[in-house]
Amino acid sequence: MAESNGAPGASLSAADKYSLISNNLQEVLNKEIIEEVLNKNERPLRIYWGTATTGKPHCGYFVPMLKIAEFLAAGCNVKILLADVHGFLDNLKAPIELVEHRAKYYRTCITEALKAVGVDISRLEFVLGSEYQTTGSSGAKYFMDLLRLSTSVSGHDATKAGSEVVKQVESPPLSSQIYPLMQALDEEYLRVDAQFGGVDQRKIFTLAVEALPRIGFAKRAHLMNPLIPGLQEGGKMSSSDPDSKIDLIDPPEVVKKKFKKAFCPPKQVEGNGVLSFVEYVLLPASALKNNGTPKFVVPRRDAEPLEYSNIKQIHEDYLADVLQPQAIKPAATDALLEILLPIQKTFAESKEWQELEQKAYPPPPAPPKKQKKEKNLGSRFPGNKPANGAIEAKPDGHVEGPGAQEASVGKTTEEAMSKLSVNESDKA
């Protein structure tokens, strides 16, 4: 059955849809899979984008959000996977004790970010990974398929696949090899034609293409957007480096301070985090508000404002020193604050969201009050046990503190499973 005339993208040709889907992507693997679905026009193309619920979502998330807006405009069905189990596997960045709160926090942030750039969220589907990966008959089947997949992938290949996504440590846990296998298997269980993600996911995507057919599942297409350089020199915008990114709920004074300190050398385009932010966030976001026409304005103190509709013009002026750091930084700051305003207004007015943030990312425990020194009665004295004190969430999502181990893995299997369950009322 073909799309109805009232469906999103119904008036577009297959070529126009593909152009919209692939716009501004760095790479597309197996595009013939996408083209076949579009040319048949019997149903919408199905795409999923997954995000591990670890550190706080930041403004780099606008890159996939804006791309998702284009998928929806092309008439695609889009699923957003809140990958709670994946976060747990990635060096305990999503502790069992906090993972449910993190998943709710991510859903709230992503929803508000999409609304802020004018995306109709009613046509999105959110899926929690643990809903089908760990519970019921689906969870049992998923686990068996994961074991089947593990027999067809070497440890070396699994480690290589996750090397740019999973946190690398000197003695990596086995979970770092399970992570990419599950991400591949999710394509089958989410029943999609394509997976979307950053170019840093390429090795996992390649693993999925090669490994899924070995256990009888179809290969999928993969859509990759470029990564935004962090605001500091070198590296991508990441939750693990607070100075490299701007959180969605950072107050205006913090946003201004981070942009002011951002790496933005004059006449240098390569690796310039501010220019990249303009290219991949501010210009596409402005296009959604201006009927498809990008617009970025740079006010100048002693001259007419500079107005741009594409990154090529910006790069040319920046290399020629017509556009300078002291002009583009405040312009980018103001443009971002305009996007963030409705998000931060909603956060300020929502006690529920504020409480959720505190639960998902516990603040540092208050310093202990200075007390009179007591005589040490020895560790064997009755009642002299270390307190299971408060835990503190670090920027990348993991926790530290006296109770960190139990918070990360749970005391028992039953407790861990219960923490990975979300009440039916929360799914709505």
Q: Higher pLDDT residue, 268 or 238?
A: 268
The residue among 385, 48, 398, 335 whose CA lies nearest residue 189 is 48
The whole-angstrom separation of Cα 188 and Cα 344 is 37
The whole-angstrom separation of Cα 339 and Cα 63 is 13
146-157 pLDDT, tens digit each: 999 999 999 999
pLDDT at 160: 92
The residue among 70, 73, 9, 94 whose CA lies nearest residue 43 is 9
The whole-angstrom separation of Cα 417 and Cα 162 is 25
Provide, rounded to the nearest whole percent, the portion of the chain with pLDDT above 70.
Answer: 81
Residue 403 has phi, psi (to 5 degrees) of -100, 20
Band (pLDDT 50/70/90 cuts) for residue 335 is: very high
Burial of 186 per CB tally in 10 Å (0-12, 13-18, 19+): buried
88-141 pLDDT, tens digit each: 787 667 788 888 899 999 999 999 999 998 888 887 999 999 999 988 888 999
Q: Higher pLDDT residue, 95 or 45?
A: 45
The whole-angstrom separation of Cα 49 and Cα 65 is 10
Q: Which tokens hold the place of 263?
A: 């790496």
Alpha helices (H) along 190-221: 202-211
DSSP 326-351: HHHHHHHHHHHHHHHHHHHHHHHH-H
49-86 pLDDT, tens digit each: 999 998 899 998 999 999 999 999 999 999 999 999 88
The answer to whether domain 242-349 has CATH 1.10.240.10 is: yes
pLDDT at 322: 95
pLDDT at 244: 72
DSSP 27-73: EEE-HHHHHHHHHH-SS--EEEEEEES-SPPBGGGHHHHHHHHHHHH
Position 379 pLDDT exceeds 60: no
The residue among 346, 396, 288, 243 whose CA lies nearest residue 62 is 288
Q: Are 83 and 51 in contact (CB under 8 A)?
A: yes
Looking at 3.20.20.10, 3.40.190.10, 3.40.50.12780, 3.40.50.620, the CATH number of the domain 14-225 comes to: 3.40.50.620
pLDDT at 184: 96
Q: Give residue limits of the domains in the chain.
A: 14-225, 242-349
The DSSP letter of residue 74 is: T
Q: Which tokens hold the place of 243?
A: 């100075």
pLDDT at 384: 43
β-bridge pairing 77-83 and 46-52: parallel
Q: Which tokens hold the place of 396?
A: 């990348």
387-414 pLDDT, tens digit each: 445 777 767 677 777 666 666 666 676 6
Work out the mean pLDDT of the chain and round it to a whole number: 86
- Judged by DSSP in three states, 357 sits in helix
Q: What number is the average pLDDT over the span 210-214?
A: 97
pLDDT at 240: 58
pLDDT at 387: 43
pLDDT at 428: 41
Band (pLDDT 50/70/90 cuts) for residue 423 is: very low
The whole-angstrom separation of Cα 8 and Cα 134 is 34
Band (pLDDT 50/70/90 cuts) for residue 190 is: very high
